[in-house]
Amino acid sequence: MTVHRRLAATGSVVGAVIVALDGTVLTVARPTLQRDLGASFTQAQWTSTGYLIAVASLLVFAGRLGDRYGHQRLFAIGMLGFGAASAGIGLASGIGWMIALRVVQGVFGALLQPATLGMLRAAYPPDRLRTPIAVRTAAIGVAAAVGPVVGGALVAGPGWRVVFFLNVAPAVVLGGLALAGPGSRRAPAGQGARQLPAGQAPKQALAAGLDVPGALLLAVTLAGLVHTLVALPDAGWTTAGEAGAVLVAAAAFVRHERRTASPLIPPDVVGSAAVGSALGVLVAASAALQGTLFVGAYVLQYTLGLDPFQSALRSLPLAAMMVAAAPCGAVLLRRAGARRTSVTAMVVLALGILLLTRASGTLALCVGFGLLGAGFGAVMVAASHVVVAHSAVESAGVAGGAKQTAMNVGPTLGVAAATVLMGSGGGRALPLVVLASVAVAGAVGGGPLPGRAAAEADDHCDTADDHGGAGARSSVPARR
């Protein structure tokens, strides 16, 4: 493995783990920091909401910046900024400063996340992406399992501020290595041979290719969507006006993208049936999983009367099976293709949710959570591989940004739906059945994903390309 590939793989894994740990650990620390800073419940919630809105609204544009300036460079800036914001949060004197710094952290998180996938796409040919994506998925599963334990230990010991200082050292080290590495000075893939129109200066061409108006319209759309979903459980259906504004912004974005010469989301991404299907599957899978975990937390602690530690033990099979399913998903992806792997994984996810509608004993709960982890881990590998490998190298950042956007919008949608349905008085059965239906809908939506024959053709073609260099293939695979 070359130094460039090693750095890309390490950065992708560590970057994803830092973001995953930050979210899971904050969930544990929020009640304590709320008390220490004298904040209201709404203010404490905004430490998460502000971050989520910032990161979700900027992911696609950040991916485009990576495509233009280089993913390793954006990764370095994102890591260093994320670490600096984390240090500032650890030193924050009030809730206002903390909310503001969490928004700043979200901005740098948006720069960081698409780059973790863009670096992989630039460093590996498509036929060799399965293993690094599987390792990345397994690492996220480990972070999800370790996060609450680490957070609880730190909050009970040194205090909640130490939680944020955890990010600083790895962010500085990885960010510094990425900034000093050879890839940060390398022209983005596909940029070197691009000819500028006559009379057009390089900076003008670069600015024209960024589609700033489209980025602003998409940011408004996604920020409004996330805020509407977060506020939905408290405001009920009174957020119809805000939802209407989101639809108007979305329509304006679509209209602009169709007319502009340099759209924010290139046709090879938005026009690919395989990529679109994979993004839909990821939204459905993450919505079903996170919505189920939200309901499960209340069932374990309020309905079954378990304490947080006992609850964590019963849900531990989820993380364990997610870690185990990641490499298995890579094998299934090669042998069965993305379509069969994703559809089967979504069905397993739905079965796990349905099992939890009536589970009360330890064995049934562990099996239910285990099925959740197995299904989600496998579908993450398969769908992520399709998004990254079936986009051109020149659009890898946008594809990665779209994938991360799906992984931010899906959980927000799932938790909002679960909260509203639980408030309707139907207990756990109604929201879990609805969430299982979402998983089944995701399985149905996986129809356009590539099958086994397409995967074998890709492997044969990409192996031939690899003889001519890792970067020989930069075009989009033929539509299936």
Q: 115 by DSSP, 3-state: which?
A: helix
Residue 357 dihedral angles phi and psi, to the nearest 5°: -65, -25
Helix boundaries (H) for 260-391? 267-270, 273-298, 308-356, 362-389
pLDDT of residue 389: 85
Lowest mean pLDDT across 181-195, 292-306, 416-430: 181-195
Work out the pLDDT band at 242, boundaries 50, 70, 90. Answer: confident
Q: For 304-311, what is the mean pLDDT?
A: 77
pLDDT of residue 373: 92
Residue-wise pLDDT tens digits, 141-184: 888 777 777 777 777 778 888 888 888 998 999 888 888 866 55
Residue-wise pLDDT tens digits, 87-128: 999 898 889 999 999 999 999 999 998 988 888 888 888 888
pLDDT of residue 412: 87
Lowest mean pLDDT across 154-168, 194-208, 366-380, 406-420: 194-208
- 463: closest CA among 216, 11, 125? 125
- 378: closest CA among 414, 340, 405, 404? 340
pLDDT of residue 278: 93
Give Cβ neighbours of residue 93 (< 8 Å, ≥ 6 apart): none
Mean pLDDT of the chain: 82
pLDDT of residue 475: 39
pTM score: 0.81
pLDDT of residue 130: 86
Residue-wise pLDDT tens digits, 33-79: 888 888 887 788 888 888 888 998 999 999 999 988 889 899 999 99
Q: What percent of the chain has pLDDT over 70?
A: 85
Q: For 465-469, what is the mean pLDDT?
A: 43
- What count of other Cβ atoms lies within 10 Å of the Cβ of residue 265? 21
pLDDT of residue 473: 40
